Amino acid sequence: MLEPTVTMQEKTITPAPLPRSPQETPQSAAASAAAIRVSELSSWYGDFQALHSISLNVPERRVTAFIGPSGCGKSTLLRWFNRMNDTIAGARCTGTAMLGELDLLARSTDVVDLRRRIGIVFQKPNPFPKSIFENVAFGPRLHMRCSKSELQDLVEWALRKAAVWDEVKDRLHAPALGLSGGQQQRLCIARAIAVGPEVLLMDEPCSALDPASTLAVEDLIFELRQQYTIIIVTHNMQQAARCSDQTAFFYEGRLVEVGPTEQVFTKPARKQTEDYVTGKFG
C-alpha cells in the first residue's frame, strides 16, 4: 500500500514539505530525539492560572499521552502547541515550547505554517459539511497548488493512511456527515495528515466514539507513530496504557510525573500518580 503512494507523494507536493515515508527517515536513528521541548510553560485564562511552569520533552515519532483529571490543564497545554488558544480571549502564557528551532509560542511565529506542521484532531469529530473528498482536500488546497489528479492521489493516500479508505472509496463524493462517528474521526485524522504535519495533536480523540470505533482509532494511532510524533490527551487510562510510549500525568495545572508509559502505570514515582492510575480519584 505504501510503495505506490510514496511515489505519488514525491511528485505531488513540490511546494510544501510532504509527509515523509518510513523509508526516508529510519525510525531507529531519531528514536528518542525530542520533537517538542517545553520549558517553564505557564498559562493563564484571565486571572486563573491553568498551567504552572511545565517542562517536558515530547519524543519524536512516539506517542505521548497526557492524562489527568478534568481541568488539570492537559488540553490547555496541547492547544498551546499549535496555538489554538490564540482565539480564546484572555488566554496567555509564558515560557517556551520549541519544535526544532521554531519557538511555538513566540508572537512572531507564523501560526498558519505552524499549524500545518502541527496538526490537531479534536474531541468531537468535526468534518466540514462537504463531501468526503472535499474534507481531505481542504488542507492541501489551503497550502499548495496541485492539479486535480495530484489532489486525488493525495486524498487517497491520506485516507489509506487513516485506515478509512476501504470504507469510503466508493462514496468519496458523498457528504462526510453521513459517516459514522468513528469513520468521521478517522476522516478528520486523514484531513489532518493530508497537509503533511510532523506532529499530530489529539484532544481526547476517542471520547465521543463507541468501543469498536475507539479500537479502530487506537490501532491507527499505533500505526501512525511510525511517521508522526503524536500527543494524545485522554481520560481513558487504559487507552493511554495501550497506545502510548510516554505518559505525562497532570494535576491541577502541574506536571506531576512524566516517564515511559509502563513505568508510570506500574511503578509511579509519585503517590498522586499512583492514586490516579489505580482509579482512587479522578
Partner 1 sequence: MSQPHPGSPNPPESVGPPESVGQPESGDQPESKSALGREPLAAQSPAAQSPAVRLREGRGRIRLNVAFFALCVATAAISVLTLIFLLSSILREGVPYLTPTLMTSGPQPVPEEAGIWPALTGTIWVCTLCGLLTLPIGIATAILLEEFRPRNRWGAMFHGLIQLNITNLAGVPSVVYGILGLTAFVGMFGLFQVPGASGAPAFEQGVQYYDQFFSEGERAVLVPVADRDAPMSEVREGMTAYDVDLEPIEVHVIEPGGDYPEDPEVLAYTLFSDAEAGRIDKRAWYYFRLPFGRGVLTGALTLMLVILPIVIISSQEALRAVPSSLRDGARGLGATPWQVVWNVSLPAAIPGIMTGAILAMSRAIGEAAPILIIAGIVYISRGPQHLMDDFTVMPMQIFNWTGRPQEGFHGIAAAAIIVLLLILLSFNAVAVLIRQKLQKPLS
# binding residues, partner 1 (CB under 8 A): 28
* Pick 120 or 146: Cβ nearer partner 1: 120
Regarding 58 and contact with partner 1 (CB under 8 A), the answer is no
Regarding 112 and contact with partner 1 (CB under 8 A), the answer is yes
Regarding 186 and contact with partner 1 (CB under 8 A), the answer is no
Regarding 84 and contact with partner 1 (CB under 8 A), the answer is yes
Regarding 127 and contact with partner 1 (CB under 8 A), the answer is yes
Regarding 242 and contact with partner 1 (CB under 8 A), the answer is no
The torsion angles phi and psi of 277, rounded to 5 degrees, stand at -70, -20
Regarding 45 and contact with partner 1 (CB under 8 A), the answer is no
> Which of 50, 78, 120, 132 lies at the binding interface for partner 1 (CB under 8 A)?
120
Regarding 171 and contact with partner 1 (CB under 8 A), the answer is no
Nearest CA among 243, 184, 188, 235 for reference residue 207? 235
> Which of 59, 68, 119, 268 lies at the binding interface for partner 1 (CB under 8 A)?
119
> Which of 154, 179, 188, 264 lies at the binding interface for partner 1 (CB under 8 A)?
188
Q: Would you say 139 and 162 are in contact if contact means Cβ atoms under 8 Å apart?
A: no
Element (H, E) at 212: helix 211-224
Cα gap 189→209, rounded to integer Å: 14
Cα gap 124→188, rounded to integer Å: 10
**Smallest distance from the beta carbon of 178 to partner 1, in angstroms?**
10
Regarding 174 and contact with partner 1 (CB under 8 A), the answer is no
3-state secondary structure 21-34: CCCCCCCCCCCCCE
Regarding 205 and contact with partner 1 (CB under 8 A), the answer is no
* Pick 190 or 241: Cβ nearer partner 1: 190
DSSP bridge partners of 49: 44
Cα gap 178→161, rounded to integer Å: 21
- Which range of residues in 66-74, 121-129, 225-233, 261-269 is near partner 1 by CB under 8 A? 121-129
**Smallest distance from the beta carbon of 210 to partner 1, in angstroms?**
18
Distant-in-sequence, close-in-space partners of 233: CB < 8 Å, separation ≥ 6: 65, 66, 67, 74, 75, 78, 202, 203, 204
> At 52, is the secondary structure helix, strand, or coil?
strand
Residue with cell 465521543: 208
> Which of 126, 180, 236, 263 lies at the binding interface for partner 1 (CB under 8 A)?
126
Regarding 113 and contact with partner 1 (CB under 8 A), the answer is yes
Cα gap 146→182, rounded to integer Å: 29
The residues that touch partner 1, with contacts defined as CB under 8 A, are 82, 84, 87, 89-90, 112-116, 119-120, 122, 124, 126-129, 138-139, 142-143, 175, 177, 188, 191-192, 195
